[in-house]
């Protein structure tokens, strides 16, 4: 298990200190999770392209998700995050053969996307065969080519949208900036909750970043 992930990503592992295993109750029973976390907890790959949660970042991520995506607060266990600050989690509300499926929570789009794979297959299949779809690797390469001084990203950083896509922001490099991960999620969460409270069809004509 995880041979394909290890072969693909271990050479990309950044020199950052290992962390302690994130042992949330929604994760410890997931097939393969504890073995994976014992090797990769706190790891960063490819300059921040993909990061695995340790106890500290996992606990923080759960709090951020609860604030921004409260409808998922009682069913997810975040295990990793990518350069755009998107959180990957197991979702106990969706199971196949007793195993929770993966959920991708995107602060910049305000969406939660269902990935029909369990934890192990996500790492050995999705992240290996469909890395660009899962982690936006081509977008990361384009962004990092003109922002090489910002790479590698610290574990408390992400590359966030200046104007979130759900408020009309453009999905382009010019709309990206390095942000504190917690601050970015907090702001996007507040904006998402505000947008959800608007009547359907309400047009948002202007967003000003202060």
Q: What pLDDT score does 94 carry?
A: 98
The DSSP annotation for 84-140 comes to: T-PEEEEEEEEEETTEEEEEEEETTTTEEEEE-S-HHHIIIIIHHHSHHHHH-HHHH
* φ, ψ at 94 (rounded to 5°): -135, 110
Contacts made by residues 195-200, CB under 8 angstroms, sequence distance 24+: 195/110, 195/166, 195/167
| pLDDT at site 81 | 98
Could you tell me the pTM of the whole model? 0.93
Give the least confident one: 20-34, 45-59, 94-108, 185-199.
185-199
pLDDT, position 195: 76
């Amino acid at each position: 298990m995880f041979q394909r992930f290890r072969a693909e990503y271990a050479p990309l592992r950044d020199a950052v200190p290992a962390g302690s295993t994130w042992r949330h109750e929604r994760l410890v029973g997931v097939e393969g999770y504890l073995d994976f976390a014992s090797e990769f907890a706190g790891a960063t790959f490819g300059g921040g392209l993909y990061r695995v949660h340790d106890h500290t970042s996992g606990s923080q991520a759960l709090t951020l998700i609860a604030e921004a995506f409260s409808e998922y607060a009682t069913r997810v266990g975040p295990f990793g995050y990518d350069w755009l600050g998107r959180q990957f989690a197991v979702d106990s509300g969706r199971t196949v053969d007793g195993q929770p499926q993966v959920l991708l929570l995107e602060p910049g789009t305000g969406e939660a996307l269902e990935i029909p794979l369990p934890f192990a297959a996500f790492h050995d299949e999705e992240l290996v065969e469909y890395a660009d779809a899962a982690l936006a690797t081509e977008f990361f390469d384009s962004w990092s080519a003109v922002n090489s001084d910002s790479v590698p990203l610290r574990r408390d950083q992400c590359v966030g949208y200046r104007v979130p896509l759900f408020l009309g922001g453009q999905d382009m490099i010019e709309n990206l900036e390095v942000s504190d991960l917690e601050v970015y999620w907090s702001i996007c969460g507040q904006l998402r909750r505000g947008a959800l409270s608007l009547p359907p069809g309400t047009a948002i004509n202007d967003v000003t970043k202060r």
